[in-house]
Amino acid sequence: MIVPMKKYIFLVHHSDYVEFLDELRALGVLHVQQQEGEPTEELLEKIRLQKDIRDTLAALRHRIVTREEGEALSEAGGIAIAHTFRELTDKQESLQQELNAVQKEITFLKPWGDFSPSSVRLLEQAGLRVRFFTCPTRKYDPAWQEEYPLEIINTQPPDTYFVAIAPREQEVSIDAEELPPPEIGLSSLMAKREALQKQVDAIDEKLDNFTLMAQPALEAALKEAEESIQLVRVVENTRKEAEDRVMVLKGFVPAGREEQLKALCESKDIPFLSGRPRPEDNPPVLLKNTAFSRLFEPIGELFSLPAYREMDLTPFFAPFFMMFFGFCLGDAGYGLVVLAAASLYKLRAKESLKPTLSLAQFLGVATIIFGALTGTFFGMNLLEEQYAWLGRIRDFMLNSDQAFNLALILGGVQILFGLFLQAFNKIRQFGFLYSLATFGWIILLISLADMATVGLTGGVSTYTAWLGLGLILFFNDPKASFFGRLGKGIWELYGITGFFGDLLSYIRLFALGISSAILGFVVNDISLQIKEGIPYLGPVLFVVFLVVGHGANLLISSLGSFVHPLRLTFVEFYKSAGFTGGGKPYKPFAKQSEKA
């Protein structure tokens, strides 16, 4: 659910404003309302500083250092460390580019050996010209040596390298590629490379020291920078009145967290106004769900937070997402692996990772249930005759046709459930009259499904279908005129094709489950062939291939089992529920360690 917000407007004398902001930040409950306008240069500079520190931390965390940790640097040095780190990395990058260029020159010069370019220049001063040639060895013509003074310097298949020395005015006509004369010797280049490498290594040494000692200081500096940005934002969103003597600050506080704020204002004699926010205020969104639903909040946030005045769909898509993941992975053995791995890792994991691991546990349980339902265990089809010893347990398992139908049924249920939520949301926001068209769609779709399948209502579906049609045609927009509603309703009826398209999208649940089972079966089949076809090592390779094959299948199938339910949630379900999204998260003005 979305926690209701209260809007507050504070009127503070300018001389008390700094102290008020300090105490307000200590409370950590007010989300400051943002005003229109461009950010100031001060704010942009602090954001750039924050980015520098964050980038430095990210770079240090990716470095691997095996030495013992040294003493932490002072917190005050965090910003200086970020600047120094940036200077060092820029310099190292420049040196590395120069080193790469030298290495290319060395590669070019190696075939010519280590000679002195000054000797070449002395020959040129004497009126001779030294020309450097290369050509494929198979095209080298020994007759050239009879016509010109040539010397083969090196032969490195497939090329031959040679020089021709002739008077400056003499033309040398050789069918080979002429290269520019080197300006520096090989030994000098190698010495330069060694010097550059030492400089790069020295910078690496400094960066390693940063990795070992600077992270605590950088983290403290990042926290300070974030708090500074937050304070500047608050000041920028403060309106000044009465010749800049009165500071007007607006913000939002979650219902139930107001008592301390009111006590602060009363103790400081600060006048304020409070009330329910209006739609144009665009209040922030704070979600409050049960322990189970809260695990799925990060999944919903991948798309968007709900708008403040609409429903939070997290508790409603959570069970479906869990079922769809289990359906797609669809192997009880894989579910056991996911459940066991998440449970064992959870015993030693950081507190921040435990919600994710709890989610993995639930997804593992769902996979076990659907794997047992479809009769798949590590690629083995439990519906085959060789597993008849399972007895009546197999009566509860579904064959492929039944699994296909189950996927469509689950899709139809979720789509209709989404429409019910849309209707309820419209009642909450606009009134019952605005929900009638949505109820019309529900009635029409259920009636059509009944007529197309079992016909349980015995002909009543025809009448209910007409009822649903009427609600869609005449109540799609209560504010419009009669003919306006009729025209808009006819246009909206075309959207029935979208419902059928959405329903067919749920076939992917069946397809992914089948593909996972088939890949598991293939792994088992190949493993058995290895065991029977290779003497002595067969049993060992059998186990190795089983572990590697099923491990790879589990990883690949898990990715698809997460992504496709995500798509069904964000596209089919959210559309049916009329989800608009676009809510901004609740971010109170608070110290970083105290943020909600």
Question: Is the same domain home to 99 and 213?
Answer: yes
Instruction: Give strand pairing partners of 409.
Output: none
Residue corresponding to tokens 């700094």:
18
* pLDDT 10s digits, 392-412: 787 888 888 888 989 999 999
Residue 450 CB contacts under 8 Å (≥ 6 apart), including other chains: 456, 457, 461
What confidence tier does 569 reach under pLDDT thresholds 50, 70, 90?
very high
Q: How far apart are CA 44 and CA 53, in angstroms?
A: 14
Q: Could you tell me the CA-to-CA distances from 286 to 266, 425, 511, 587 in Å, in that order?
A: 26, 18, 37, 9
Domain presence at residue 382 = yes
pLDDT at 70: 43
Position 155 pLDDT exceeds 80: yes
Question: Is the same domain home to 315 and 376?
Answer: yes
Tally of structural domains, the chain? 4
pLDDT at 222: 74
Position 180 pLDDT exceeds 70: yes
Tell me the mean pLDDT in the region 244-248: 84
Domain presence at residue 467 = no
What confidence tier does 73 reach under pLDDT thresholds 50, 70, 90?
very low
- CATH number, domain of 268, equals 3.30.70.120
Tell me the mean pLDDT in the region 464-490: 80
pLDDT at 205: 77
Question: Is the same domain home to 44 and 147?
Answer: no
What confidence tier does 337 reach under pLDDT thresholds 50, 70, 90?
very high
User: How deeply is 239 buried, as exposed, middle or buried, from its count of CB atoms within 10 A (0-12, 13-18, 19+)?
Assistant: exposed
Tell me the mean pLDDT in the region 18-27: 84
Question: Is the same domain home to 351 and 279?
Answer: no
Question: Is the same domain home to 132 and 211?
Answer: no
Average pLDDT along the chain: 83
* pLDDT 10s digits, 157-170: 888 989 888 887 78
What confidence tier does 596 reach under pLDDT thresholds 50, 70, 90?
very low
Say which range, 40-54, 84-98, 103-117, 423-437, has the weakest mean pLDDT. 40-54
Question: Is the same domain home to 18 and 148?
Answer: no
3-state secondary structure of 150: strand
Say which range, 153-157, 232-236, 301-305, has the weakest mean pLDDT. 232-236
Domain presence at residue 476 = no
Question: Is the same domain home to 160 and 197?
Answer: no
What confidence tier does 61 reach under pLDDT thresholds 50, 70, 90?
low
Question: Is the same domain home to 248 and 158?
Answer: no
Residue scoring higher pLDDT (140 or 214): 140
pLDDT at 548: 92
Most confident segment among 121-135, 137-151, 158-172, 407-421 = 407-421
Residue scoring higher pLDDT (473 or 548): 548
Tell me the mean pLDDT in the region 420-442: 86
Whether the CB-CB separation of 284 and 585 falls below 8 Å is answered with yes
User: How deeply is 309 buried, as exposed, middle or buried, from its count of CB atoms within 10 A (0-12, 13-18, 19+)?
Assistant: middle
Domain presence at residue 415 = no
Question: Is the same domain home to 194 and 93?
Answer: yes
> Where a domain ends, among 286, 314, 349?
286
Question: Is the same domain home to 62 and 204?
Answer: yes
Q: How far apart are CA 111 and CA 134, in angstroms?
A: 10
Share of the chain above pLDDT 90, in %: 16
Domain presence at residue 527 = yes
Tell me the mean pLDDT in the region 377-385: 83
Q: Domain containing 135: what range? A: 115-184
Q: Evaluate if pTM is beyond 0.75.
A: no
Tell me the mean pLDDT in the region 355-383: 90
Domain presence at residue 430 = no
pLDDT at 75: 41
What confidence tier does 501 reach under pLDDT thresholds 50, 70, 90?
confident
Domain presence at residue 458 = no
Question: Is the same domain home to 49 and 169?
Answer: no
Neighbours of 201 (CB within 10 A): 10
* pLDDT 10s digits, 37-59: 666 677 677 777 777 777 777 77
Position 273 pLDDT exceeds 90: no
Beta strands in 256-353 (DSSP E): 272-275
Question: Is the same domain home to 311 and 376?
Answer: yes
pLDDT at 210: 66
Residue 448 CB contacts under 8 Å (≥ 6 apart), including other chains: 461, 465
pLDDT at 455: 61
Position 592 pLDDT exceeds 50: yes
Domain presence at residue 563 = yes
What confidence tier does 74 reach under pLDDT thresholds 50, 70, 90?
very low
